Structures are given as C-alpha cells and as structure tokens.
Amino acid sequence: MHSSAQQLLDERRPTRADARRNFDALLVAARDAFAEHGLDASLEDIARRAEVGIGTLYRNFPSRDELVENVYLGEVAAIAGYADQLDGTPPGAAFVAWMRRYADFAAAKHVLLDGINRDSPTLSACRGVLFGAGQPLLEQAQRAGEVRTDVTIEDAVRLISSVAGAVYADPDQRERIIGVAIDGLLAPRG
C-alpha cells in the first residue's frame, strides 16, 4: 500500500531522463515556494528555482492545480516511504518517529490542501496511503505495550494534524505541543 502514492507519481513522471529531472526539480521548487509563500507563489519563481523555463513548467503541469496536487502526492509518497525506513527500529520508537515526521508533513500540507480539489481521487488515495503506512507501526507499538490500545491510526493522524497545523508563537512551542500530543498516544507507564 505504501508504494501506491509513489507509483501514481511515477506514472505521471516523464520517461526521458532530462524531462524526469525537470519534473522532479519543479516539484522540489514548488514545494519550497508554497511553503514560503503559500499557494500564491509565483509560477515564474518556481520555474526559476528549478532552473527551467516557464514553458517547461507548463508542459509538465498545465495548471497550478496539477502542480499542487503533484507536490502533495510527492509529500505523501515520502511520508509513506519513511515508514519503510523504520524497519528494524523498536516499535514504540518507530511509531513516535513516524508521527514526528508526519507532524512536519501535516504542518506543510494545510497550505497544499487549500489548493486541492476535495473530490480529487488523488486526495482520497493519499489518505489511504497515509493510514496504510502508519497502521503497521501503530499495531506493532500497541502489541509491544508502548502505545494505547484504544487509539486508531485515524485518531493519531487527526490529533497530530490538528496540533501541527495550529499557529504557534515560536518553533519551540510547536515542538513542545507536538511532543505533548504524541505522549498522549503512548501507553501509561508503571
């Protein structure tokens, strides 16, 4: 299930090596520009950051909506892939690491979600990919007695999404509150 976001992105990626490099560079540039300037980031600036012409941007992404959706898809593929990288990590630590990585994603995704059609099949598929990536980590941590057994992956994702998407006075406060939220998912000690 993890790879379905990556597979969907790969299907959209051009086959020629130079075109694929441009596609990937545009996604990275767009992700950074949207994070800095929101969805109103200049497409010309995105092309410039990717070191391609505006025509290359439009050949790959004929509309801003398509660009935003592909950036979101790439971010989902990365967070799902991160779950695989945690193989061999102790269950509780793996779950906490994935939730912290998800918190970073959730903070950025709010900007992207404003630009995605809520009825998009891609958005629906992405939700399934995220739940599918986190579910095994949650179950392993629950079996190890490290995470509350009354928590579902949807509960955990919604909690962290809400906390990560809030506005904070400073980054330290954000990290503290995310830590408190994650601690609330852990099984009581003692």
pLDDT, one tens digit for every residue, the chain (190 residues):
445 777 777 788 888 999 999 999 999 999 999 888 888 899 999 999 999 999 999 999 999 988 988 898 888 899 999 999 999 999 999 999 999 999 988 877 665 666 565 667 777 788 889 999 999 999 999 999 999 999 999 999 999 989 988 888 998 999 999 999 999 999 998 6
Amino acid present at 172: D
For the question of whether the overall pTM of this predicted structure is more than 0.85, the answer is: no
Going from the N-terminus, what domains does the chain have, and what CATH number goes with each? 3-185 (1.10.357.10)
Give me 47's structure tokens.
């092309």
Is residue 22 within 8 Å of residue 146, measured between CB atoms? Answer: no
> Which residues does 133 contact at the CB level (< 8 Å), separation at least 6?
1, 2, 79, 80, 82, 83, 98
